[in-house]
Structures are given as C-alpha cells and as structure tokens.
Structure 1
C-alpha cells in the first residue's frame, strides 16, 4: 500500500471521538449566536431575564377615621322595681303584661276603703284641734284683757298663753296626720315611675301586699345602653370617655355606631359616656358603656350587638393596599419606581382601615407606588411601567 494512504487511516474508536467533538463545538457556536441576538433585541437583561412589568399608583394623602368593633349586650337605661308603699289587698292590675307604659300610668289598684277611713278620721281630729284652738284663743283674749286691768294674776295669764300655744301645736299635728292619710290613699293607685316595658306581675289580684312588696318591674328602653369591654391597650378611648364623664367641654365625645346581630347598621348614632376606672383582673379589660336613642324601641334589651367606636381621626396620611407591603431585612417595605427602576422603601405601619394599610412614615405624596408586579422585584432592577394590570399579573406568574 502506498505511504500517503496510511495517513488517512484511523481506528474506529478514535474516529467516533473526533466526530462527537465536532458536534459539541457546532452546538456551542449556535448557542452563542442566539444569546447575542437576544441581547441586541432589548427584550431581556444581560442575564437573559425579561424586564419585569409593573403597575404603579400615585401616592395621595387623605383623612382617615380609625375605628374598632366590640361585642356587647343591649340593656335598658334603667330597670326599676315597682313596689307597694302601703299594706292592703291587691284589687286589680290595670295594664297588660309586657306592655309599654308611660310615666304616670296606673298599674295596680290596692283596696282604698281602709285608707279612705283613715283620711276621714284624720280630718275629724283636725276639726277638733281647730275648735280647741279657737277656744284657747278666746280664753287668751279674755285673760290678757283682765290682766291689763290687774283683775287676774300673772300666772293665770301665762296659763292661758300656754293653752293657746298647745292648741296651735296640736292643730299642726292633726294637719300632718291628714296629709299622711291622704298620701296613703294616693298610694292605693300604683303608678309607673318611668316610661318603659313592664314585666310579668309578681302577685295576682286578691293577694295581701305589705309595704315594700314587689309588684312588677319596668325597663326603660329609650335610651338604650350597650355594655362592652375595652382591651387594656385602648387607652385613647378610655381617656376620651373619662373626660366626657367629668363634663370637660373641651373634650369631644367618642361617637359610636351600633351594628345588629344580622350585620345591619342601626340608623341612630350614639356615644361612649362611661369607662370604668379599674381594670378587670379576670379578663384584662375595662368595662365601658355606649348610649343610643331608641324612641321606636327597635333595640331590645338583652340583644347581642356590636359597637363600632371611633378611636382616632388621622389627618393627611398615606394609605396603600395591604398586599403591596412585604417584609424585608429592615422590616416592612414597599417598592416605588424612580427613573424606571424599582426602589425599596422601608415604611412605618399604622392601623388597617377599610382594607387599606395606613403608612405613618416612609412614603410621600406623589411617589409612584408599585401595586402590581412587586412580588419578585429586586431593589434597583429596571422595570417596565404599565397601566395594564393584566400584563403585570402575567409577569408575576412567569416570574413565579
């Protein structure tokens, strides 16, 4: 075989290795060309990642009312026990049990005959005392005249004067007895001391009642009170309510809204007029009371309700959607856009009001806040600002 033919001969294993190396080199060259083409197109960064799209919201300030809901129970403003003030037989009940009565309405009638007899007896004694006084005055006039003519002794004059004074005192006693008898006669007509709802009668007609016997109970429904408990750390509302209790004209009352068990809001506003001065050691809370008008008796004592209390009025504060706030190395943070770059802003959080987070510090009016597309952002990354929320949402999905 000629010598130049020996140069073209390769063993099979060596030939396979050479072919594999040529294939790898070709693929690497193609990949490098593709990356350069993508980088020149402007749709991705130097690392091959697409520019994230975000939606921004211009930061504005507003006045915010901070409120809190508390569970409570409705109660009547007053609950008064109606008791008998004299002894006698209960003759008649003059109202329907559970009926709403007005102050001064007759509720029960106690047998009046014994009281009427006592009035007549007291008046008769008064007439006797009046006659005795007239006789004592006539005697005094006669004796005093004789004394001036030295016809009687000084002792006789003093006796006549004492008899007249005793007759005057006795007349006063009988007059008081008449007034007491007439007062007892009036007590036979048991009247409602206030307007409200009556309870069941405690004794039926025909029962013998003593002085102080409970006849019924009246619950005043207008206004209605709601008792609730304040957590220990709600110091601002506690201070405001206590100032209102002391009559401090400079302090504004704490307003309250009542929410029924079905979620409906009561159309009459109330106010917190009382907070306890001590902390309940068992519950770690402070008892409080709100007062609401209830002319139509829509709120029934005993109902479970919620009281929405205004804790604070904040002026010119920034609010943002809750979901734009994330946790960073320095705490709570948000992203804003400056010169088409995402910038991290640490923020100080306040309360959440109507689904929006109050920002106490960290944002200024006019800042461009990232509200969509912020989930995978990094500080300093260039972003594509868009008003299309769907584009931002799709960008987040691709990043995830």
Structure 2
C-alpha cells in the first residue's frame, strides 16, 4: 500500500512539471509573436545591442629622470657644546678676601687679576724667611773660615784629624742650611704671589661666589670662587651608536676621507636654525665603545669668533662620511608613504607604471637623496599621484629636475 502511494505521488509531480514547462513555452511564443506583430523588433534589437566606443588614450603625467650627482653624504647626531678650557678658580693660600677685580660675566684675559687675599701675613712670613737666610749665610761664612783654619793647623800637625773632620761637617751643614733657608724664602714668596688670584685662561667668567671680607680656605677641596670657560674655539661632544660608527669608518675609508689629515668636515645647526650654518672639523673619536650604552664618544671643534656658541648649548651635528659620492636625487613630492615604508611610482620604457620601494637619505639642494631603490635614468612620476596604480599605462611628460630644485630654493 505504501509503495502504491509513493508511485502515485511521483506521477503527480511529473504532471505538474510538464504543465509548468508547457505554460512557459506558450508564454514565450506569444511574446515573440506580439513583438513581431506589433513592429517592436527594431526597438528590442536596439535595447540589447551594446554601444561601441574607441579605447581611451593613456593619461599624460609629469615625470622626471632621476639623476646622479656628486653629493657629500652625512650622518646626523645630537649633542652639546663644551668649553675647550673650563677652570674652577680656588684659592691656593688661605686668608681674607681683600678685593674682587672683575665684573661677573665679562671676558677676562689670561693673567688678569681676579681676587686679592690679604697679603700682610705672607709678607711677614717672607720677611722672616729672608732674615733666616741671612742668619744661616753668616753661620756658613764662619764655618767656612773655621774649616780653612783647621786645615792649616792640620797641615802643621797642631790638631788631630778628628778636629778637622768636625770643621768639615760644620761647613757642610752650614751650606745645607743656606739651601733650606733659600727654599723657605722661595716658598714664602710664592705664597705671597698666591694672594693675587689671576685668570689661568682667557674666557668668560662667572659670578663671584665670595665677597670681600670673607675668610677662605685653600686647596683642591676648598670653595670654588668662580669659574672661567673659554669660548673660541669651542668643542661639540656627541655619542654615536655602533652601527653609525661602522658606517662612518667604512664610508670614510672607501672615499679616502680619513686620509686627509683626519680633518673630517662637520656642521652644526642650533635649535632655532633650519640649516647647518656652523662648519667645523672632527678632532677626536674615542678608542672604544661603551659597553653599558653601546655608543662611542666623538668630538668636533668649531671657530666661535662671534661667541654665538656657548658651553652647554644643544645642537644637531652632521658628519661627512663620503665626499662627492654619486647619488640619486628626486623631488620630495614624488615620495609616497605606506605606513613605515617609502615608495615612488616609476614608468618603464613602454609607459607602464610600477611601484618601487626606496630607502631615503637626507636632503641636498631641496631634493631628496635616494640611498636604495632607484638608479640614474629611472622615470619617476611627480604629478597626479592619486590617479596612479600598478600596471596602468601613461604618457610621460618629462620635466627638468632643476625646476624642482629652484622652486624649493625660492
């Protein structure tokens, strides 16, 4: 019974399917007949036919031909200026300040008088030392005279050898006393000179830490009376990473820059300057890399005749690692960014566009240095960058690179 019902259901479904197909065929035939009968066939053909147009011409965009020019390559570092000479002024003898002979902040010359300590105790000490010298000289004269007399007596056999030896010893002791007295006089005179504290170097002096009437101590642990820093020339001290140091060494060796009396050119710009306007030279590179920081210390020297540069001032230094090295240059506007990556659009000989990843260097005459990714002669797109895509075809309109350089300079 179940099998009979299943067979009946299948027959019913087949009848419905045939009925639907037949109905669709009738409707289609009727539609075709109506179209032909009513004269609508031309309109139907027109509606279904696709319009035909010619292919659009490739867009014209501006390109420049990347050029290789001789350029000095630089590394950049941050650092601070330091005085070539920086002296903390301390007293070498103790006493009371009698006078201050400078104005805080002024330029002092080497040998200028800065402080005077009360000299009277030292004058008295010197006078006593000189008197003592005269005393020992008199004693020495007497000892020498006695020695001559004893020698004559010994020659005549009137005194023993021991008496002569005693006279010799006394004469030698007298001569030694003269030397000691002279040393005491020199020491007393030196201490008297130290009561006048003079500038050991030429430079700008700080303010006075003590006033007239103060009693000061002497020695390395005594109070600093003032400080002097030299200004011309002036040092700039900076730290370089190990990688930067290797780039510097290899670059200067490859270009022969290290063989030019070790006078590697550098330049500094200050925090309110846009260009590296202060030229100088490297005068010292440390002999080892600090294990704690992984850096090595370098130092440059600058002429500072106008005294604009001051110790402690912050600056940005660039260091030449290659002179007149062939370098590819392009306009800054040709460089695009994709997160941290930099790229340019390059057109090949057929005008097909390709994206090229590049490594940027510094700037030279308003143009961007390309360290990797481009070669001289590559056609770099500089306009309509928002319309450019990988693989599209363009018509390049070559533009002079110098026009971008001049526009940037203006």
Task: Give me the TM-score of the superposition, normalised by structure 2.
Answer: 0.74
- Is 1:363 paired with 2:351? no
Q: Paired residues, what number?
A: 357
Contact 2:67 2:330 in 1 (8 A): no
Tell me which of 24, 29, 46 is aligned to 1:26.
Answer: 46
Task: Report what 1:15 is aligned to.
Answer: 34
CA–CA distance in structure 2, aligned partners of residues 190 and 143 of structure 1: 52
CA shift digits 1:184-216 (9 cap, x unpaired): 010011111111222222221111122233222
**Distance in 2 between residues matched to 1:363 and 1:315, nearest whole Å:** 14
Q: Which residue of 1 aligns with 2:289?
A: 278
Spell out, residue by residue over 1:92-129, the C-alpha distance to the aligned partner (whole angstroms, 9 max, x if none).
11111222211111001111111111111111111111
SS in 1 for 2:154: helix
Cα 1:149–1:83 change in 2 (3 A) is same
Give the 5 Å matches for 1:107-146: 107-146=114-153
Q: C-alpha displacement at 1:259, in angstroms? A: 1.3
TM-score w.r.t. structure 1 length?
A: 0.76
Q: Tell me whether 1:295 sits opposite 2:296 in the alignment.
A: no
Instruction: Indicate if the aligned counterparts of 1:123 and 1:178 stay in contact, CA closer than 8 A.
Output: yes
Which residue number in structure 2 is paired with residue 206 of structure 1?
213
**Which residue matches 2:204?**
197
Aligned partner of residue 386 in structure 1, secondary structure? strand
Summarize the Cα distance change of 1:13–1:56 in structure 2 as closer, same or farther, 3 Å threshold.
Answer: closer
Q: Tell me whether 174-183 or 132-141 shows the greater mean CA deviation.
A: 132-141
Partner deviation per Cα, 1:201-259 (whole Å, 9 max, x = no partner) = 2221111122233222222222223333434431246649999xxxx866633322221
1:64 and 2:84 matched:
no
Stretch moving more, 66-75 or 15-24: 15-24
CA contact (8 A) 2:231 2:310 kept: yes
Specify the alignment match of 2:407 in structure 1.
Answer: none
The answer to whether the 8 A contact 2:269-2:276 is kept is yes
Aligned residue number for residue 61 of structure 2: 54
Q: Give the distance between the partners of 1:266 and 1:336, measured in 2 at CA.
A: 35
SS in 2 for 1:222: coil
Query: In structure 2, what is the Cα distance between the partners aligned to 1:388 and 1:315?
Result: 25
The question of 1:92 aligning with 2:99 is answered yes
Mapped to 2, the partners of 1:19 and 1:54 lie a distance apart of: 51
Gaps in structure 2 of 5+ consecutive residues: 1-28, 401-410
* Structure 2 residue 245 is the aligned partner of structure 1 residue 235: yes
Contact 2:282 2:301 in 1 (8 A): yes
Displacement after TM superposition at 1:149 (Å): 2.5
Secondary structure, aligned partner of 1:252: coil
The alpha-carbon deviation at position 359 of structure 1 amounts to 4.7
What secondary structure is seen at the aligned counterpart in 2 of 1:65?
Answer: strand
Q: Matches of 1:314 and 1:264 in 2, distance apart?
A: 23
Q: Is the 8 A contact 2:344 2:381 kept in 1?
A: no
1:165/1:137 CA distance change after superposition, 3 Å: same
Quick check: 1:321–1:356 contact (8 Å CA) kept in 2?
A: yes
- Alignment counterpart, residue 361 of structure 2, candidates 343, 351, 360: 351
CA distance, structure 1, for counterparts of residue 93 and residue 251 of structure 2: 43
Tell me the C-alpha RMSD between the 2 structures: 3.7
Would you say the 8 A contact 1:341–1:382 is kept in 2? yes
Q: Which of 152, 156, 163 does residue 159 from structure 2 map onto?
A: 152
Instruction: Return the match for 2:170 from 154, 163, 171.
Output: 163
User: Partners of 1:240 and 1:97 in 2: how far apart?
Assistant: 48
Shift of 1:61: 1.9
C-alpha contact (below 8 Å) 1:241/1:273 kept by paired residues: no
Residue 34 of structure 2 aligns to a residue in which SS? helix
Partner Cα separation in structure 1 for residue 50 and residue 251 of structure 2:
78
What are the residue-to-residue correspondences of 1:67-78 with 2, within 5 Å?
A: 67-78=74-85
Question: Unaligned 5+ residue runs, structure 1?
Answer: 1-9, 39-47, 390-400
